[in-house]
Amino acid sequence: MADGQENQTPRQPRNLQGLLNFCTEITAREDTTQPTNFQQLDPERRRFLEEALNSLTVNVAKKMAESVKTLCSEAVTMSGEDVTEQEEAMAVIEEYVDDMDHAIDLYKMGGFPVLLRCLDSPHPSLRAGAAGLIGDVCQNNLQCQQNMLALNVIPQLLQVIDGDEDVTSRVKAMYALSCLIRDFPEGEKEFVKTEGFSYLMRAMQSGIEKLVIKSAFLLSRLIQDNDSYKGELLSMGYVEQLFTLLSSEKTGSVSREHCTAALLGLASSYPPALAECMRPELHLKKHLTARLREIKAKQESLEEESYIMELLKLMEESEVEGEENTFR
């Protein structure tokens, strides 16, 4: 009975873990204490192994193409329709487009205009899903950034960020915008041309924590990469807006970190912004000092702590310089 069981062909694996178990079982039957005589696989065992491997191979392009076709359904644009299939199609695409090559494949098969169509859907789940996928395909992918920008998607994303009734859609659209324009000068230029900083400020005023986090993060990155924005941002009242967020008890720790980073970015190498930070009526130095005591040595707040210390240093150096000029 035992001999009969040992001679049975192992059950065909259905996943990677099954294939690993299969290989382990075959290896375990070998007597590793004796020299191994290599033998060619007999046709039946070779066929079995090939079928096992083929069953684990996924045709990604085919699955994505089928999903894109599903997203072309009229249900996408009609309210009251069941869009479960479309939601599942988006989940399939999401599974693969983190890979840059698959993201480019999605573009080549005509998937980008389909995503923009979904972004305009009456179904919140599809709007949020489309925005998330736009962000996924554009993140650190210049070719996808260029091709998505060519579809004039920025105004559409800004409209979702500014006024969509669905909070998740607004947050996902901000994520998409950030991935589209970061480290991409052409995208930044179009963002500025479309009055993107006005939309960004309203997002920071929304009171939606995740939206505040993503908008403050994008602002800090844009400032970090381009000093030419600072004059416009100062005239728009961004210093006051950032201070308002930092002085509010409702602002979460992650938002505080990005707001402080943005404020530091504005004040660094731009004296008018630093002077604005030092306006007596803002009491910014007092607030930052109190916040520093509150988070001192907390592991989760190390980044914010470093930003505060740098900003306080800038303010103190400016005060000393001002005093020296007074006594000259």
Q: For domain 207-328, give the fold.
A: Leucine-rich Repeat Variant (1.25.10)
Q: What SS3 class is residue 206?
A: coil
**In this predicted structure, which of 17-21, 130-134, 191-195, 321-325 has the lowest mean pLDDT?**
17-21
Give the confidence band of 325 by pLDDT, cuts at 50, 70, 90. Answer: low
> How much is the pTM?
0.81
Asked if residue 54 has pLDDT above 90, the reply is no
CATH superfamily of 58-76+83-194: Leucine-rich Repeat Variant (1.25.10.10)
pLDDT at 15: 47
What does the angle CA 127 – CA 129 – CA 134 come to, to the nearest 5 degrees?
A: 95
Q: Please write the tens of the pLDDT for every residue from 58-112.
A: 788 999 999 999 999 999 999 999 999 999 999 999 999 999 999 999 999 999 9
pLDDT beyond 80 at 2:
no
Q: Which residues of 164-197 are buried (b: 16+ CB within 10 A; e: fewer)?
A: beeebbbbbbbbbbbbbbbebeebbebbbeeebb
Give the tens place of pLDDT for each residue, 128-146.
Answer: 999 999 999 999 999 999 9
Confidence at residue 119, expressed as pLDDT on a 0 to 100 scale: 97
Quick: pLDDT tens for 217-259.
999 999 988 899 999 999 999 999 999 999 999 999 999 999 9
pLDDT band at 57 (very low <50, low <70, confident <90, very high): low
Residue 117 — pLDDT band, cuts 50, 70, 90? Answer: very high
CA atoms within 13 A on the CB side of 154: 24
Structure tokens at 209: 């924590």
CA-to-CA distance for 307 and 141, rounded, in angstroms?
29
Please check the confidence at residue 204 and state whether its pLDDT lies above 60. yes
Other residues' Cβ atoms within 10 Å of the Cβ of residue 206: 18
- Mean pLDDT over 195-203 rounds to 97
Residues, the chain, total? 328
Q: What percent of the chain has pLDDT over 70?
A: 83
Q: Over 80: is that where the pLDDT of 28 sits?
A: no
CA dist 250 and 40 (Å) reads: 70
Tens digit of each residue's pLDDT (9 = 90 or more) over 160-193: 999 999 999 999 999 999 999 999 999 999 999 9
Output the pLDDT for position 5. 42
**With 70 as the cut, is the pLDDT of residue 123 above it?**
yes
pLDDT over threshold 70, residue 10 = no
Is the pLDDT reported for residue 49 higher than 90? Answer: no
On average, the pLDDT of the chain sits at 88
Distance CA 261, CA 276 (A): 16
In this predicted structure, what is the pLDDT of residue 193?
A: 97
- From 11-15, 254-258, 267-271, the region with the lowest mean pLDDT: 11-15
Domain boundaries, the chain: 58-76+83-194, 207-328
32, pLDDT greater than 50: yes
Q: How confident is the model at residue 38 (pLDDT cuts 50, 70, 90)?
A: low
Decide if 101 contacts 144 (C-beta within 8 A).
no
The pLDDT, as a whole number, for residue 31 is: 53
pLDDT value at 324 more than 60: no
Tell me how far apart the alpha carbons of residues 163 and 155 are, in angstroms, rounded to a whole number.
Answer: 12
pLDDT confidence of residue 8: 46
Residue 14 has pLDDT above 50, yes or no: no
pLDDT of 303 higher than 70: yes
